[in-house]
Amino acid sequence: MDSFESNRRNFLRKLGLTFGATLAATSMISANILDTNENPSLTPEQQAFMNNYEKWMDEFVKVIRVQKVDPNDLENNKKIVQLSEQAKEWQRKLVEHMKDENFARHYMKATERVTLEI
């Protein structure tokens, strides 16, 4: 693996861990959040956040797929930067929402597909 490929993988891994790090910072979340089969109900604000996040994930998955095939695609790389900046803007709100176990459960389930893609 050349250094560019290694740097690309590290960047994508770090971007994927941005949200994971937020989880680690919220100590109120227990390990059994994903163990329940309940369908978590969200507040309207949380639902709006998740709707935006899921749209973001759709776009992120698209650019990751392109990145895997053509790491030199400049337009795609610009999209990755834009998407990562959007993710940074959400962190404070995400930390707040993650204090709610129902939201955390919903978020973790939604995040699984991006994690698998990375």
Q: What is the pLDDT of residues 49-78, one digit of tens each?
A: 999 999 998 998 899 899 989 999 999 999
Q: What is the pLDDT of residues 4-53, one digit of tens each?
A: 556 555 555 555 545 554 444 443 444 444 444 555 589 999 999 999 99
pLDDT higher than threshold 90 for residue 109: no
> What is the C-alpha separation between 59 and 55, in angstroms, rounded?
7
For 113, the enclosing helix (H) or strand (E) is: helix 101-117
Q: Would you say 13 and 115 are in contact if contact means Cβ atoms under 8 Å apart?
A: no
Cut 0.75: pTM above it = no
- Residue 106: pLDDT band (50, 70, 90) is confident
Domain range annotation of the chain: 3-27+43-117
Q: Give the pLDDT score at 29.
A: 43
DSSP class of residue 100 equals S
User: Could you give the 3-state DSSP secondary structure of residue 1?
Assistant: coil
Both tokens of 83, joined, read 């998407």
Determine the average pLDDT of the residues in 99-116: 85
